[in-house]
């Protein structure tokens, strides 16, 4: 009896795999996919929020890269999906990325999903997308659920301009510094936050942003979904006094009620703080957005500050 090598066994299993998904008890065959990277949004809680196009891609993919295979397996079991899974997260991205690129370069269709919602929003996926582009390969996306956008739409605040910040720093000092940097952005602000930190984060937001309207979305699309609205001060008080903190939170905060005048010293302070974290280009974009100042003027000042710091422009 001849035993096939593991690679041959895996290839044979993949060639005979049924590329299908199951909806309402009905098995549906998925069409073949062209090679490339497919960014697939997954539900943020309610599994019924999965799109049909997303299911087709996950069913037909040669490989699905995901943050946590256990989380993605729950979705796969619900819809009868059987594509092979591989972990892709902050801790293994540098090692896993070349293997994924190699798979796509050989003609494979690789899907990328996050644990919940739209890939690349608060996860390391953008580096993979950039690497696929740099390799001259194809990237496409199947849009769907996003906690940030859902919270924005139900908040009852302005939606014409918004700024997604994601998670604020965990330590209070750094958090307050970042809130001060965000205070001048003339648009609705969106934050993610965890239950254990929600009360402290709201207190710092209230003190740093003042009397602004806000909304808190908790466990969005899930059984215990809750949306609270009020001023930042009132919401901070609610959570300090025992409002439910279990679950995942999105905080949506109204922009400033009127344009805020800003002086040269304040612009310099914002630039120095940004330059300590990011490149000159990104710092200029951040400060120009936050202050409403002309990008060219902010860029010129950033160059002056970098010259003062090390004698040369970077």
pLDDT in tens, 41-72: 999 999 999 999 999 999 999 999 999 999 99
Q: Please give the tally of structural domains in the chain.
A: 3
Please give the pLDDT value at position 5. Answer: 52
Phi first, then psi, for residue 116 (nearest 5°) are -160, 140
As a whole number, mean pLDDT of residues 193-204 equals: 96
Are 138 and 155 within one domain? Answer: no
Alpha carbons within 13 angstroms on the beta-carbon side of residue 205 total 34
Asked if residue 259 belongs to a domain, the reply is no
| The predicted structure's pLDDT at residue 295 | 83
pLDDT band at residue 297 using 50, 70 and 90 as cut-offs: confident
Classify the C-alpha dihedral 300-305-308-310 as positive or negative: negative
* The two structure tokens encoding residue 298: 């902010």
Q: What is the pTM of this model?
A: 0.78
Per-residue pLDDT, 312: 46
End-to-end Cα spacing for the chain: 66
Nearest to 285 by CA among 276, 273, 274, 269: 274
> Which range marks the domain in which residue 279 is found?
264-310
Question: Which pLDDT belongs to residue 310?
Answer: 60
| Cβ–Cβ under 8 Å, residues 280 and 314 | yes
* Maximum alpha-carbon separation in the chain: 82
pLDDT at 8: 47
Average the pLDDT over 298-308 and give the result: 87
Same domain, 153 and 141: no
Q: Is the dihedral of CA 268, 272, 277, 279 positive or negative?
A: positive
Last residue of a domain, one of 145, 163, 178: 145
Establish if 138 belongs to a structural domain.
yes
Same domain, 13 and 130: yes
- 308 vs 12, residue with greater confidence: 308
Report d(CA 142, CA 120) in Å as an integer: 13
| Encoded tokens for 178 | 């970042």
Domain boundary among 123, 145, 167: 145
Q: Which residue is it, tokens 């970077």?
A: 314
Give the pLDDT of residue 314: 37
Contact between 274 and 252 (Cβ < 8 Å)? no
Kindly state the helix (H) or strand (E) to which residue 85 belongs, with its residue range. Answer: strand 85-87
Tokens representing 182?
């965000």
Q: Using DSSP bridges, classify how beta strands 85-87 and 26-29 pair: parallel, antiparallel or unpaired.
A: unpaired
Per-residue b or e along 275-298, where b marks 16 or more CB atoms closer than 10 Å to that residue's CB: beeeebeebbbbbbbbbebeeeeb
pLDDT at residue 201 is higher than 90? yes
180 lies in some domain = yes
Categorize the per-residue pLDDT at 76 as very low, low, confident or very high, splitting at 50, 70 and 90: very high
Last residue of a domain, one of 91, 126, 145: 145
Q: What is the pLDDT of residues 16-38, one digit of tens each?
A: 688 999 999 999 999 999 999 99
Q: What CATH number is given to the structural domain containing 59?
A: 3.40.1010.10
Do 119 and 166 fall into the same domain? no
Beta-sheet pairing, 248-253 with 188-194: antiparallel
For residue range 100-119, list pLDDT tens digits in order.
Answer: 999 999 999 999 999 999 99
pLDDT band with cut points at 50, 70 and 90 for residue 200? very high
Q: Specify if 239 maps to a domain.
A: yes
CA-based R_g, the chain, Å:
23
Work out the average pLDDT over 88-110: 96
Q: Is residue 258 part of a domain?
A: no
pLDDT for 1 equals 47
Length of the chain: 314
pLDDT, tens digit, 9 for 90 and up, residues 160-176 = 999 999 999 999 999 99
In sequence order, what are the beta bridge partners of 27? 22
Give the mean pLDDT of 198-226.
Answer: 96
Considering the domain architecture, whether residues 283 and 234 belong to the same structural domain is answered as no
Rounded Cα distance, 167 and 192, in Å: 5
Task: Look at the block and give the residue holding tokens 């805020």.
Answer: 260
- For residue 1, being part of any structural domain is answered with no
Question: Mean pLDDT, the chain, as a whole number?
Answer: 90
């Amino acid at each position: 009896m001849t035993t096939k090598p593991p690679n041959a066994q895996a290839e044979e299993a993949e060639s005979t795999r049924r590329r299908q998904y199951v909806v309402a008890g009905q098995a549906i065959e998925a069409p073949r996919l062209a090679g490339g990277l497919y960014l697939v949004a997954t539900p943020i809680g309610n599994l019924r929020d999965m799109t049909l196009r997303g299911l087709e891609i996950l069913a037909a993919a040669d490989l699905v890269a995901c943050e946590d295979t256990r989380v993605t397996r729950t979705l796969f079991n619900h819809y009868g999906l059987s594509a092979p899974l591989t972990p892709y997260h902050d801790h293994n991205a540098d090692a896993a990325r070349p293997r994924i690129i190699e798979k796509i370069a050989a003609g494979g269709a690789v899907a990328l999903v996050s644990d919940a919602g739209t890939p690349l929003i608060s996860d390391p996926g953008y580096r993979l997308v950039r690497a696929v582009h740099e390799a001259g390969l194809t990237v496409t996306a199947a849009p769907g659920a996003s906690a940030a956008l859902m919270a924005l739409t139900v908040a009852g605040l302005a939606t014409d301009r918004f700024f997604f910040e994601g998670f604020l720093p965990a330590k209070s000092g750094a958090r307050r510094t970042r809130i001060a940097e965000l205070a001048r952005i003339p648009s609705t602000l969106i934050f993610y936050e965890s239950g254990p930190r929600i009360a402290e984060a709201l207190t710092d937001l209230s003190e740093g942003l003042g009397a602004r309207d806000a909304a808190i979305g908790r466990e969005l699309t899930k059984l215990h979904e809750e949306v609270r609205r009020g001023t930042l001060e009132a919401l901070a008080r609610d959570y300090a006094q025992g409002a439910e903190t279990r679950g995942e939170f999105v905080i949506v905060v109204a922009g400033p009620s009127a344009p805020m005048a800003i002086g040269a010293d304040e612009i310099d302070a914002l630039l120095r703080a940004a330059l300590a974290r990011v490149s000159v280009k990104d710092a200029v974009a951040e400060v120009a957005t936050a202050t409403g100042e002309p990008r060219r003027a902010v860029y010129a000042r950033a160059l002056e500050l970098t010259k003062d710091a090390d004698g040369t422009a970077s």
